[in-house]
Amino acid sequence: MAITEKSRPNPYTSAHEDVFYVISSDNVAQPNFKYVFDVYIDTSLVARLKILPEPNFNLGICNVGEIVRSYFRNNNFRGQPPDIFDNSSVPNDGRFTKDITIQYGEEYGIPTTTYTNLENASGVTVYNYYNDLLYKNIAESLSIYKNNFLSSGSVFKNITLDETFFVYYWNEALVNTSGTVRKYDAAGALLGTLLITMTTLNAELVCLSPYPIAIGSSFINSSVAYYTYTVNNGTISRMMTFTLDCFPKYAKYNIIFFNQFGGFDTAQFRMKSSRKIDMERKAFGRTDFRYENTGFILYYDAHNKILRGDSMTYATKFNHKFHLNTDILNDAEFLWLQQLVASPLVYLELYKGTTPYYFPVKILADSYDIKTNRNGSVSNFGMDVQVLQELNTQFS
């Protein structure tokens, strides 16, 4: 008599899809028979599920996706790091991965008896990302980004000296990894190299902005035309290139968003954008005159000649909205930015002096048109966002 494992989750399974385990048993004909699945997350028993055999093949089919999802911590963007690396591991605090193990058992008999840990499924790592149309139940899209930047955005960016840029790097191999910044002049001549040691954490937030790189030095300055950032783990090398835009025509805005692959990504809105304030006012009605004990009717203050009016505003609430526009996008960039519209966590970067602050925002669009050069002309992407912070004026 034995339990046989029929299938388990594939490598790089998304926690936001079905996470199926399927088993069979030689005892399925016993009275009151049920399959028992003990679910362990990071070595802790979190659930014991008892499941009846399905009617066609008497298999035990268990989907633990909903359980695993509930044990992921919420992702929170931490903002500007003090140096090029935030040094905050995503998986170590339960935001990027969860290790799950299932112990198989069964229950049967009169009275029923539960037999646990009859067979042990080997551990499976489940990831906090989501698949898209061409990958769901077909392939593991996350595996493409092993030992790479966790972003499907372009590796060529424009940036100003006072601008930030964030992206995650996934050190899946967990080996010693180095990051190298190289700066060049307009003729392409190498001006200098800066080596930055990375930790062996699984995934970490990287700030590739000019001024964090230059902390303690003037490594990136106005003499630099562009710089590259290369990550090398001894086997695989990945690079991003940043061209310095010293005199941008319009005010620039950065959106930091939680992307499809479980990391934070930066979308740059560098074309003409606008800002407005929406207000909600509450008022009460009153007469536009008053009278004194002498019986004299006054429509204004006798001393200051201030008219009364027939209503008075006693409370005003307001919030800020922005209409943002990107540069002209290519086909791949339009595909990439659909993640922004679908993201559950989106932050707008605003500056107070030279200090960036990150405000949570709501995207006010419910649909997104993916444009291509074949079915239309080249275009930019515009969107409206609302800062999730309601403000009050003085109450009267």
**What is the average pLDDT across 31-46?**
93
What pLDDT, on a 0 to 100 scale, did the predictor assign at position 88?
46
What pLDDT, on a 0 to 100 scale, did the predictor assign at position 131?
81
- Ramachandran angles phi, psi of 92, nearest 5°: -65, -25
**What is the average pLDDT across 85-102?**
67
Task: Give CA–CA dist 21/332, Å, rounded.
Answer: 36
What pLDDT, on a 0 to 100 scale, did the predictor assign at position 82?
41
Q: Provide the residue ranges of all domains of the chain, joining segments of one domain with +.
A: 3-128, 144-274+318-392
What pLDDT, on a 0 to 100 scale, did the predictor assign at position 362?
93
For residue 81, is the peptide bond before it cis, meaning its omega torsion is within 30 degrees of 0?
no
What pLDDT, on a 0 to 100 scale, did the predictor assign at position 83?
45
**What is the average pLDDT across 8-23?**
90
Place of tokens 């046989």: 4
- State the number of CA atoms in the 13 A half-sphere of 215 facing the CB: 12
Q: Is the pLDDT of residue 92 over 60?
A: no
- Please write the tens of the pLDDT for every residue from 306-327: 888 888 888 888 899 999 999 8
| Strand 13-14 with 124-127, pairing | parallel
What pLDDT, on a 0 to 100 scale, did the predictor assign at position 204?
66
SS3 382: strand
Say how far residue 128 (Cα) sits from the centre of its chain. Answer: 10
User: Check: CATH 2.60.40 for 3-128?
Assistant: yes
**What is the average pLDDT across 97-125?**
90
- Please write the tens of the pLDDT for every residue from 196-242: 766 555 666 677 777 666 554 578 888 899 999 888 877 788 899 99
Nearest residue to 84 (alpha-carbon basis) of 244, 252, 240? 240
